[in-house]
Amino acid sequence: MRLEAQSAAIRELFPADYADLALAVTELGGSTGAMIVLALLFWLSSRHRRNTALIVSYAFAGLALLVALKSLIGLPRPPDAVLLPGAAGEADGYGFPSGHAFAAVVVYGGLLSAFDRRRDPRAVLAVGAVVVAVSLSRVVLGVHYLGDVIAGAAIGLAFLPAMNRLTRGDPTRGFAIAVVLSLSALAVAGATEDALLGFGGSVGGVLATLGIDDYGVPALRSRLEAATLVGLGAGGTVGVRALEAAVAVAPLLAGLYAVLVAWILLAPSAVARCSTAVFDSLAQRRGAS
């Protein structure tokens, strides 16, 4: 079922000298890599913020679902002997299905809808290439079998239309679904880091999206404002992530993750208000002069 022999053949085709390349590719399907991509798109694509926030909610709902599924199924990863150098940090927890393959389908496949590119062959091909590359990187690194990544991608393909139907385009509804799924993940898997990330991030998403009246406003008015938004947004995100190591209590860690997601979603509004205040002050000074 897990295609061990085929997995070994794939690993033999990939030289161990390129382990760093496989590690870089695999990050596109990891929680940090996906979060960076979604955060940048949310901050910089004013017209698509609502739909991008929806895909963020899918990512957290999917994370919770995969944590619960992995714990319920309980299949181990490949033996340590097949791990490529540097891949030990990727080999925690259970191995079936692959969360990275699932996340690549949900995040990048979801963005095709968010940016209305489902009928663009080049965009579809690019997303397919990312999904295949991330999936194969997991096999090459020795942290999954081929059957694991096929199952993860297949679950992702089923998960996307299900979430589309359940959320009806409402990010708050998506994060509420993620809260329910993350509670199930906590019950099944316990207070693991991924389960806490799913729960805290989902709660932060619900609270933040309830406070956003219109995702298309405010639009970015200049490159300086865009650069300021990315700088402050990234700085706040890095600061929150840096506190993870100092937080050992599960409720506090979940709260930290809630702050992280809320900051990502509310940063455009905060920067826009500051920018508006600056522009109004400059206009008043010019009028007075």
Chain segment 249-269, per-residue pLDDT in tens: 788 889 989 998 998 888 887
Residue pLDDT, tens place only, 182-240:
999 999 999 898 999 999 999 999 999 886 655 554 566 677 777 877 887 788 777 77
For residues 165 and 186, what is the distance between their CA atoms, to the nearest angstrom? 25
* Band of residue 278 on the pLDDT scale cut at 50, 70, 90: low
Of 159, 138, 160, the residue nearest 150 (C-alpha): 138
Contacts of 131 (CB under 8 A, 6+ apart): 101, 104, 105, 108, 109, 153
For residues 142 and 138, what is the distance between their CA atoms, to the nearest angstrom? 6
Residue-level pLDDT at 20: 87
Of 108, 214, 91, the residue nearest 148 (C-alpha): 91
User: What tokens were used for 163?
Assistant: 């979430």
pTM of the predicted structure, to 2 decimals: 0.89
